[in-house]
Chains A and B, each alone.
Chain A
Amino acid sequence: SQTIHQWPATLVQPVGSPLSLECTVEGTSNPNLYWYRQAAGRGLQLLFYSVGIGQISSEVPQNLSASRPQDRQFILSSKKLLLSDSGFYLCAWSGVRGRGSNTEAFFGQGTRLTVV
């Protein structure tokens, strides 16, 4: 069966410090991978998605970047965190259903990031 691992669960970082969040998927190959951010009481904002190694699409101009160095590894990074980067970060994977359509997405446990 497929599993998705995301760590750490919580993180407190000072303004201006770097960030690296990692997500790995097991039990599937060539998944679509996603990074979302959720502000308190809000919906999920799509930050990045990837359909393959080295293929990253950015949805929102921001202080973050993403990389996919391996098929089942997705990393979210920042060189210098801002207060506005605080939030609940979620990694997800989905399969490909064909004709640009996806199967359902499954989420990691999330990382609650607080920038102080």
Chain B
Amino acid sequence: QKEVEQNSGPLSVPEGAIASLNCTYSDRGSQSFFWYRQYSGKSPELIMSIYSNGDKEDGRFTAQLNKASQYVSLLIRDSQPSDSATYLCAVNRAGKLIFGQGTELSVKP
């Protein structure tokens, strides 16, 4: 079992729709959770961090954490073509930051 798992996609949504990205992790001791966006050929950039169970909203982005289910998700409302990128879930475990394989999102005009 991989430490951090994501569906590789591609996930295709129409412009203006909600994109839902999911991530599961294996270590119950993980305490910090992050979502990154990576455009092709570029380095990852941080979108959201979440540390407690529940929802955290920042503009069009909402991160959701459920530690009991070991599940993290990212919702993107009113998706735009500029949101087309690979989204990486990352989980902190004992000082190490472990990434999932990423989900490719394509937003169609």
- A contact set with B: CB distance below 8 Å: 32, 34, 36, 42-44, 46, 49, 51, 57, 59, 90, 92, 94, 96-97, 99-110, 112
Contact = CB atoms under 8 A, between A and B. Distances in A.
B49 A104 contact: yes
A106 B46 contact: yes
B32 interface: yes
A34 B94 contact: no
Contacts, number: 62
Contact of B95 (A92, A102, A106): A102
Contacts of B96: 46, 49, 57, 59
Contact of A100 (B34, B49, B94, B100): B94
A43 B2 CA distance: 12
A102 B92 CA distance: 6
Given A99-B31, A101-B32, A110-B43, A92 B92 contact: no
Given A100-B31, A107-B45, A43 B100 contact: yes
B25 interface: no
Given A36-B99, A46-B96, A105 B34 contact: yes
A44 B44 contact: yes
A69 B32 CA distance: 28
Contacts of A42: 101-102
Given A43-B99, A46-B97, A103 B32 contact: yes
